[in-house]
Amino acid sequence: MRMSFTPKLFCCLLLFFIVSVGHSQERSCGMLEYMEEQMKDPEFARQYEENQAKFKARLREVLANEDFSQRGAGTIVIPVAVHFPTGNEADRACLEALAQNQIDILNADYTATNADLSNWASASSFYPGVNPGTANISFCLAVSNHPAGLDPELLEGNPCVTIGYDFGGGNNVDANWAGYMNFVVRPIGGSVLGFSPLGGSVAAGQAVTINTFCFGSGAGCPGSSIVPSSPFNLGRTTTHELGHFYNLDHTFAGYSCASDDGIADTPNIDSESYGCPASGSVAACTLGQYSLTMDYMDYVDDPCMYLFTVGQTNVIDTYVSSVLAPQFKPDVCTPPTPGFSIVANDSPVFSCPTSGDDAVFNFTYSTILGFNENTTFSATGLPAGATVSFSPTSLSADGNVTMTVGNIGSTAEGEYTITVTGTSASVTKNVNVLLKNTCTTIQCTEYASAQNLNLPIIDGSSGNPGTPILEHIINVPTSGNIDSMTLNVDITHSYVSDLIIRVYHPNNTDYVDVWYTNCSGGYEDINVTFDDSAPAIVCDDPTVGTYAPYSPLSAFNGMDAQGDWTILVADFFAQDTGVLNDWSLNICMEAPLSVSEFSGLHDFSIYPNPNNGSFTIKLDSDAQNPISVEVFDIRGRSIYNKRYSATNEFDEVINLNNVQSGLYLVKVSDGQRAITKKIIVE
């Protein structure tokens, strides 16, 4: 019987039980539904796949070298921020204590120092070869260098706990909190205890979300309706959901004995356990083995879950060290000393097309622990010829600072990292901002193979690809960052669902599968243009049109387009064959609107500037070539183009009729040499 691949995205099912929150409630987790929704976002999916690739590469090294004890250079400290969007500010002391209580629980659970691990002594005889694992991490509630302007009651030196702050606008992601391990405690609805991304991103500001009745332990904070309730009142919901963030699936992943969580020392089981089953009372899939019901990634009540296995902590340590560690915000767990912070509120700033001849940056200056020394501001890294001014030039109390970079019109185009320095008698601090002094447009170019390639696609067998796998290369000679792209593939084949079509970036590492055994059921031939913005594939004989690829081509965005692009076409089943007729790439890249300045155009000037659409161009040229004047709007469209006779002394009035107010680019050339200047029409 012919088969087709259905990729396995995730292994758990969301359980929304319509029951009241109370002592009889069963644990439920919303990880899968959350991931299925988020994976519809191409950028989320791209980041997820990138992080998984890093994790898998490192895990292979760990397993190959049996490198279970040396998973990093020392314990990795994870800075935590806790958010109570529905909490009351009057309960701050209580909510801060509850946050610290949950941190203490996590530190015990993840390092196998929790008191109830003593239960393992009597349970271990049912699980030969299984041992509790100790993760090489520790958690701290951040106390310094808090993000500015988000919660007025979040003070330097106090725990990083926000109250009443609408984290991510109710979503699970907030870029303001990139660098922290975020916990959001809020009502979720239904009986779901919490949810988390599977393999989360600290850099993206993602969070673990926990319901108000299962965060921390003890009496909670009744004034804010955040009270741990039995049987989920020992903080283990956060332990469980955080396991997902660190790439752990449920122990019952897949709900089938044919699939498991991918970890060798957790017995394979086909369903979750609830309540408090006795050790060794639930049979596993393999005869003589038992479900590890006390594992944090099962569904039992808080008092009856108390361990991760060694295999699970290997996954945790590998994911944290290979993916998350570089993303953590540094030095936020050390109590602050008197001083100040400078935060850039807008970077990068573009001098083209919107801000004319000046680029304006805004900063927030905040004092710490009563600091009152006078701080002056300066900047380095400016483009040659630019001016800089600060308003005010110094501060000794909290306030806002504006930096204006002027005279940009006379500077060379490019991107400039500007370092702004605040200097007082005892403290010096820097912050970097990016000035993008560039004017670009998006230009799309097609790069195509020869027609009628007639390259054979070797027949596969029983889920194995036919070899050699068909490979073909298209060279892109132009360098530039990819803004977007489409891919066309024309294949003649008698059963197209046998095929996987993959395209590799010239770095030979990054790739996208555009066709993954699509159109099962006997369809023949495809001539498809794959476009991320297009609808899902509609199968036909042949399948022709513009459709969304299996994986988004946006994975290549931002990469350099130059080099050899490779297409791979593999057939995975017997009886049907075909050929690759041709293929092509249409790549859109960011490109300059004009060439840079060259010597030879002397005493160049445009005046007046700003103007009302009428201005004069003067220059001396030592070439005997005609002089061209072209004017572009901010979208790169030519709105004026005129050619003048060769002359050594050029002096002409240019009239732009009825143009709108705004910024324009004037390009003047005398053959191969050109200069571009910005003008402002008022």
Which residue in 568, 466, 447 sits closest to 508, CA to CA? 568
What is the distance between the alpha carbons of residues 520 and 651, in angstroms, rounded to a whole number? 69
**Which one from 156, 241, 413, 630 is the annotated catalytic residue?**
241
CA 17 vs. chain centroid, Å, equals 32
- The answer to whether 162 and 99 are in contact (CB under 8 A) is no
Q: Are 25 and 192 contacting, i.e. CB atoms less than 8 angstroms apart?
A: no
What is the rounded distance in angstroms from the CA atom of residue 632 to the CA atom of residue 234? Answer: 65
Given a contact cutoff of 8 angstroms between Cβ atoms, the answer to whether 437 and 416 are in contact is: yes
Range 661-666 contact pairs with CB under 8 angstroms and sequence separation of 24 or more: 662/353, 662/633, 662/634, 663/352, 663/353, 663/354, 663/356, 663/634, 664/631, 664/632, 664/633, 664/634, 664/639, 665/352, 665/439, 665/593, 665/594, 665/631, 665/632, 666/606, 666/617, 666/629, 666/630, 666/631
Q: In Å, what is the CA distance from 48 to each residue of 206, 317, 430, 456?
A: 12, 18, 32, 34
Residue 238: its H or E element: helix 236-245
Q: Is the peptide bond before 326 cis (omega within 30 degrees of 0)?
A: no
Alpha carbons 339 and 247: distance in angstroms, whole number? 39
State the SS3 of 306-335: CECEHHHHHHHHHHHHHHHHHHCCCCCCCC
Task: Note if 241 is an active site residue.
Answer: yes
Element (H, E) at 110: helix 92-110
Which residues on adjacent β-strands are paired with residue 194?
29, 210
The helix (H) or strand (E) run that includes residue 420 is strand 414-423
Distance of alpha carbon 577 from alpha carbon 581, whole angstroms? 13
Torsions phi, psi of 78, nearest 5?
A: -110, 110
Q: List active site positions.
A: 241
